[in-house]
Amino acid sequence: MNIGIILAAGEGTRMKSRHPKVLHEISGKPLLSYVLDAAQNADISRNVVIVGHGKDEVVEKISGENIIFEEQPVHQGTPYGTGYAVMQGISHVADEDNVIVLCGDTPLITSTTLTELMEYHDSQNNNATVLTTELADPTGYGRIVRKDEGSLEEIVEHKDASPAQRGIKEINSGIYCFSGKELKIGLKGIDNDNSQNEYYLTDVISVLVQGGYKVGAFLIEDSTQIHGINSRVQLAQADDIIRERINTGHMENGVTLINPKDTYIEPKVRIGKDTIVYPGAVLEGETVIGEDCIIRGTTRIVDSVIGNGVSIESTLIEKSKVDDGCKIGPYAHLRPDSDLGKNVKIGNFVEIKKSTLGDNSKASHLSYVGDALVGSGVNIGCGVVFVNYDGEKKYKSIIGDNAFIGSNSNLVAPVRVEDWGYVAAGSTITENVGEGELSIARARQVNKAGWVEKKGLKKHK
């Protein structure tokens, strides 16, 4: 069996955060979740997560089948090192298992690389295989020290390295594949006699080399995958890398991104062919967007389902459904549980909340539609307000098909306008409007002839 041991107990001091490092997010997803997803997609069926600092928060936020949490005791505020962390998970390992050690702060590793690492490990009959890469600037990472004939000798931490060793560009990714039995042997052989007084997992490598075991390195070219996150700067760099991966994936699937560097799309978002996304778009959560859509301006769409051929400009859409052919914005806001039928038009400065609008209905300007069931072919004029709240409770409005709500009207809920009901502009509607009726609910206009003259207002000019 393949078992993952994921190290996530460290404090992450350099993040300067109240939250554990592995819960910081890139593209809306915690670092640790990236690592777990990569492991699961590489057929690593059980994953033991070693938690310590902020463990309650980690356990609360991260859950899933086949994820086991093991606690690493913290001694006088400091953990005891990566080797010590792995020891906390070793009881889950059988001698014949392959153990893949991963770091919760190295989220960019792909499942393909993990699969290749395990295949390499098996094909070479290795007892331990280290995933390595070459970096132009290897500062901070453990260096891969090889013997003259090229085989792996040891890993030396940056802080413990000699000037000559610091010149080595090949670094330890912190990701390894071990055979279960030899991992246990190696862990028994390490101590904490180093600059940080920690049990280094890296020392398992030299222990095994000295014991005559077969140890190898699997070098990958794509060094972005081992980008470790210790600071906010590295967090932002990782976000850039992830964004490029996600956005490239969409473009390869037939989506046009006008300026991919300025388009934020979270990992779970799906987008159909021939949709065009202009810069500034923020697409989040479980959002699904259909084909042939155009998304412009500073549009943010969260957990929503958008049909085909929809055009959206500078709009916020949250947890809502928008059917084919709708035109939305600029500057509209669909709040949660809005559900628009086909070819609905929602124009400038319109807010929709928890409301359903049938096919071909329109609210083109400056309206608030809340807690309403609106039929199809309805026209909601400029400035209409669905008055749904009396300060204590919310009430529903129901508007039939082909109704016409004149500009600047208030519909005081609960209220009903039947099919083909017309409401005159400026009305405050408190009672139901029957089918085909026109309702006028405003004071009758009075014109007073000669009033300005009588008041003597003209002489002031």
**What's the DSSP call for residue 150?**
S
Residue 104 binds to ligand UD1 (criterion: CB under 6 A): yes
Which residues within the stretch 140-159 sit at the binding site for ligand UD1 (CB under 6 A)?
A: 141-142, 155, 157
How many residues are listed for the chain in this entry? 461
Contact 296, 314 (CB under 8 A): yes
Which residue's CB comes closest to ligand UD1? 142
Minimum CB–partner distance for residue 226 and ligand UD1 (Å): 7
Residue 330 binds to Ca ion (criterion: CB under 5 A): no
Residue 267 binds to Ca ion (criterion: CB under 5 A): no
Nearer Cβ to ligand UD1 (74/398) = 74
Residue 228 binds to Ca ion (criterion: CB under 5 A): yes
Residue 174 binds to ligand UD1 (criterion: CB under 6 A): yes
Q: Which of 250, 333, 365, 460 is catalytic?
A: 365
Minimum CB–partner distance for residue 230 and Ca ion (Å): 5
Residue 50 binds to ligand UD1 (criterion: CB under 6 A): yes
Q: Which token pair is 26?
A: 């890139």
Nearer Cβ to ligand UD1 (50/277) = 50
Cα distance from N-terminal residue to C-terminal residue, the chain: 94
Q: Which token pair is 249?
A: 């994936």
Nearer Cβ to Ca ion (103/403) = 103
Residue 201 binds to ligand UD1 (criterion: CB under 6 A): yes
Residue 439 has phi, psi (to 5 degrees) of -115, 125
> Which residues are CB-neighbours of 123 under 8 A, at least 6 positions away?
none
**Catalytic status, residue 53:** no
Contact 162, 168 (CB under 8 A): no
**What's the DSSP call for residue 171?**
E
Q: Which token pair is 22?
A: 């592995």
Residue 158 binds to Ca ion (criterion: CB under 5 A): no
Q: Count of residues binding Ca ion (CB under 5 A)?
A: 2
Choose which of 228, 279, 383, 414 interacts with ligand UD1 (CB under 6 A).
Answer: 228
Residue 234 binds to Ca ion (criterion: CB under 5 A): no
User: Which of these ranges, 172-180, 212-220, 382-390, 401-409, lies near ligand UD1 under the rule CB under 6 A?
Assistant: 172-180
User: Which of these ranges, 75-83, 341-349, 385-393, 446-454, lies near ligand UD1 under the rule CB under 6 A?
Assistant: 75-83
Q: Is 64 helix (H, G, I), strand (E, B) or coil?
A: coil
Q: How far is CA 327 from the centre of its chain?
A: 26
Q: Is 383 helix (H, G, I), strand (E, B) or coil?
A: coil
Q: How does DSSP assign 196-242, residue by residue?
A: T----TTHHHHHHHHTT--EEEEEES-GGGG----SHHHHHHHHHHH
Choose which of 2, 4, 5, 9 interacts with ligand UD1 (CB under 6 A).
Answer: 9
Nearer Cβ to ligand UD1 (133/355) = 133
Minimum CB–partner distance for residue 110 and ligand UD1 (Å): 16
Nearer Cβ to ligand UD1 (85/328) = 85
β partners of residue 249: none
Name the residue among 221, 209, 77 with its Cα closest to residue 135: 221
Minimum CB–partner distance for residue 172 and ligand UD1 (Å): 4
Report how far residue 125's alpha carbon sits from residue 183's, in angstroms, rounded to the nearest whole number.
14
Pairing of strands 415-417, 294-296: unpaired
Pairing of strands 46-51, 67-71: parallel
Residue 279 binds to Ca ion (criterion: CB under 5 A): no
Residue 246 binds to ligand UD1 (criterion: CB under 6 A): no
Pairing of strands 288-289, 305-306: parallel
Nearer Cβ to ligand UD1 (130/293) = 130
Residue 187 binds to ligand UD1 (criterion: CB under 6 A): no
User: What are all long-range contacts of 116-122, with beta carbons under 8 Å and residues at least 24 apart?
Assistant: 116/218, 117/175, 117/177, 117/218, 118/2, 118/42, 118/177, 120/177, 120/216, 120/218, 121/177, 121/179, 121/216, 121/218, 122/98
Nearer Cβ to Ca ion (21/300) = 21
Nearer Cβ to ligand UD1 (32/378) = 32
User: Which of these ranges, 78-86, 100-108, 179-187, 383-391, lies near Ca ion under the rule CB under 5 A?
Assistant: 100-108
Note the residues at the interface with ligand UD1 (CB under 6 A).
7-10, 50, 72, 79-82, 84-85, 103-106, 141-142, 155, 157, 171-174, 200-202, 228, 230
Q: Which residues are catalytic?
A: 365
Note the residues at the interface with Ca ion (CB under 5 A).
105, 228
